[in-house]
Chains A and B, each alone.
Chain A
Amino acid sequence: MFLSLFFGEKIVKKLFKNIFYFVKELAGENHYQRYLKDAQNRHAPLKLMTQKEFYLHQIEKKWNKINRCC
């Protein structure tokens, strides 16, 4: 509201949409949908991971290497 006075409603809406997209991507929330889409495009094997399997697979992979620093 306050920002839209200076920059216009359209720009502020777009900014918040981008921030939300950024946060969602950082949290990895879109990754499963992307995996399904990707598997479809690749004509991958029929046995696809469920969302739970995919989530567990992703975090296992993420934390088997140096991923956080000092």
Chain B
Amino acid sequence: MKKIIWFLISIAGAIAFSFIALARDESINAIWFIVAAVCIYLIAYRFYAAWIAAKALVIDSSKITPSVRNNDGKDFIPTDKWIVFGHHFAAIAGPGPLVGPTLAAQFGYLPGTIWILVGGVLGGAVQDMSVLFFSIRKNGKSLGQMARDELSKLAGIASQLGTFVIMIILIAVLGLVVVNAMKHSPWATSTVAATIPIAILIGLYLKNIRPGRVLEATGIGIFLLLCAVYYGGEIDQSESLRSLFDHDGLTLAYAVIIYGFCAAVLPVWLLLAPRDYLSTFVKLGTVIFLAISIVIIRPEINMPAVTQFVDGSGPIFGGSLFPFVFITIACGAISGFHALISSGTTPKLITNEKYIPMIGYGGMLLESFVAIMAIVAACVLEPGVYFAINSPPGVVGATVVETIETINSWGFSVTLEQMQQLADDVGESTLFARTGGAPSLAVGMATIFAEAFGKHLLAMWYHFAIMFEAVFILTTLDAGTRVGRFMLQDILGNYYKPLGNHSSVTSNILTSSFVVLCWGYFLYIGVIDPNGGVNILWPLFGIANQMLAAIALCVVTAMILKYRNKIYALITGIPLIWLLVITTTAAFEKIFSSDVRVGFLSAAKNIENQITSNSSNIDINVLQQLSFNLHLNVVIVSLLVVILWIVVFDVFKLIFWRKNSEKTI
């Protein structure tokens, strides 16, 4: 009977996937994406994950886990498997799987969908599960500690440095996404701004009125957030109030930078922790809501399977399908950052090794599913509308008429009236050049929600979706800045002890300022860049994140080589080789490509020519800053590649120069 059920699941998955892969010049229903994804995940989990767990990792349910062995009620706490799953998923699922697929939809729906599904089941989920397994066998050690112990001291430093660089670029790019969503949108800005006093209010309630009553406080907070979305519309209608929240990108970027600094130095109970409670429950609720809505309305996908932009001429970000689709969609397919969670809190909570596949592999599959929903939400939009929202003026033209003409010349129909009507419907003054992915995702989500639950509420749904994205982007920004501060304090503490003291106010302010300055710089440059900072920052983030994934795969591949049958190293070795190819190719192209929208050096040269010939209408100071930034990006990308290959060299040493070990874990 079981065999028949699995056979039927396989058939359903194959049929749904064929519909997605083979449809050309005809619209396709989104339900096929859901069916294909669910069937592929079920089969991968039931067979591939189970096989890896049994044969390669040799999971042993009789072994005592660190949470049981070291149970101290503080760090090591034996916890129910579903609760661990919930914590693990809440930790790994950030804005990445929503933004990345939305941007990658410029290549069409097919490349992104295939990468999310294949990368997820063969790469990301394998990485998360194997890192979790080895961390458990190594008594809850972190990725950095395992890299140092199993490879070399240099590999340990490389992974820590890589983590810090990713943190900085991640915060900058997420800050840019929020800034672009709020730019000249009083409704969105007032709603996002309202999340700060609401979080503080919840923080005070949880500390002083009802300590620890998280659910009732979160309930109050969510009610207030919904009120903020509603009254944001009223603010937008009021002439006097709307000017308070109507700002350009640079002003908003400064506001986000000041906010980030405050959030990092304020006590966690006041802002960070209550914001996270709100963000976790809003995130879980909205993702479930989106899945239900897609199943109910079964929207048609309007984006073609593959667009002409696979050649690298895409307006949202420059670069060809290979390798940039694999860089753009990081978190929904494979994300190095997950390895930090899989070797952080999660291994200290699991009570039995038999739950590793469910939490490590299953958690990543769920994140991959979120990415599938994001690509569906982006692709239900008319392609012309999608490109009008996401294309920066530097690419499609400074005026809306030029934008419409350019997009029509690509073969995607969109009219000025259509865009104005859509902007009116969602309560915005314009939707042109709202780059960063968040506005177009919000339009896609709002369209789906409105179709399922009330068309007249489109503006409310749009701003709800913006609030939903902003609330957990800002949580990542708060938490990232704070962790960046701790990392910096730990590094500096080695040289000057007082700076390593986490409780020292001076050290906190100094290190927080440095971290905020680092990401604030990239955010500033992203905002002043006429080509839209996303074009530079998102690929930079993707390269950094995939590089960390490659380091994590190096560590687990080395551990399989050392402690298990060497043939099984292929399970992590093949995704590792793929990541090496894509990160190194992407890095090479980002540095040396002659296309000024791709290569940093050629773009810098182009800017320098504009400065010397005085042929640009952009301020010369801005041009000089952009040129400096492009050279800085060359240094960062080169550093990331060198770090990665140092670690890879350690793995080669293990393969070719190491004698068989008797050691086992």
Interface positions of A (Cβ within 8 A of B): 22-29, 31-32, 35, 38, 50-52, 54-56, 59-70
Contact = CB atoms under 8 A, between A and B. Distances in A.
Given A25-B86, A27-B218, A70-B545, A55 B331 contact: no
B370 to A, nearest CB: 12
Contacts of B541: 70
A37 B280 CA distance: 28
Nearest to B279: A68
Pairs A-B, 8 closest by C-beta atoms: A27-B214, A52-B211, A70-B96, A55-B212, A59-B273, A68-B479, A25-B83, A69-B337
Majority-rule SS of B interface residues: helix
A35 B73 contact: yes
Given A68-B276, A70-B331, 8 more contacts: A25-B83, A38-B73, A51-B211, A51-B212, A55-B212, A66-B483, A68-B94, A69-B338
B345 A67 contact: yes
Given A59-B269, A69-B335, A69-B337, A64 B83 contact: no
Contacts of B272: 63
A62 B74 CA distance: 10
A24 B96 CA distance: 27
Contacts of B218: 27
Interface in B464-480: 475-476, 479-480
Contact of A69 (B73, B91, B277): B91
B29 to A, nearest CB: 25
Contacts of A29: 212-215
A14 to B, nearest CB: 14
A67 B211 contact: no
Contacts of B90: 26
Given A25-B80, A27-B218, A63 B337 contact: no
Contacts of A35: 73
Contact of B482 (A22, A52, A61, A63): A63
A62 B335 CA distance: 22
17 contacts: A22-B86, A23-B215, A24-B215, A26-B83, A27-B277, A29-B213, A54-B212, A61-B74, A63-B479, A65-B483, A66-B163, A66-B344, A69-B92, A69-B476, A70-B331, A70-B476, A70-B545
Contacts of B73: 35, 38
A58 B150 CA distance: 32
Contacts of B92: 69
Contacts of B75: 61
Given A66-B483, A68-B475, A56 B94 contact: no
Interface in B598-628: none
Interface-centre pick from B73, B75, B91, B330 (highest chain A CB count, 10 A): B73
Majority-rule SS of A interface residues: helix
B206 interface: yes
Interface string B536-564: 00000100010000000000000000000
Contacts of A62: 268, 273
A70 B212 contact: no
B214 A28 contact: yes
B49 interface: no
Nearest to B477: A68
Contacts of B276: 68
B225 interface: no
B357 interface: no
Contacts of A68: 91, 94, 276, 475-476, 479-480
Contacts of A23: 215
Nearest to A27: B214
Contact of A65 (B87, B215, B345): B345
B214 A69 contact: no
B361 to A, nearest CB: 16
B117 interface: no
B212 A32 contact: yes
A61 to B, nearest CB: 7
Contacts of B483: 65-67
Given A51-B211, A69-B331, A60 B83 contact: no
B337 A64 contact: no
B66 to A, nearest CB: 15
Contacts of B83: 22, 25-26
A48 to B, nearest CB: 12
Given A64-B486, A65-B483, A28 B212 contact: yes
Given A22-B82, A69-B340, A56 B479 contact: no
B341 interface: yes
Nearest to A38: B73
A60 B229 CA distance: 30
Interface string B59-85: 000000000000001110000101100
Interface in B253-273: 268-269, 272-273
Interface in B483-536: 483, 486, 502
Nearest to B330: A70
A63 to B, nearest CB: 5
B72 to A, nearest CB: 10
Interface-centre pick from A22, A23, A54, A59 (highest chain B CB count, 10 A): A59
Contacts of B338: 69
Interface in B304-339: 330-331, 335, 337-338
B95 interface: yes
Nearest to A58: B212
A54 B211 CA distance: 9
A11 to B, nearest CB: 17
Interface in B202-249: 206-208, 211-215, 218
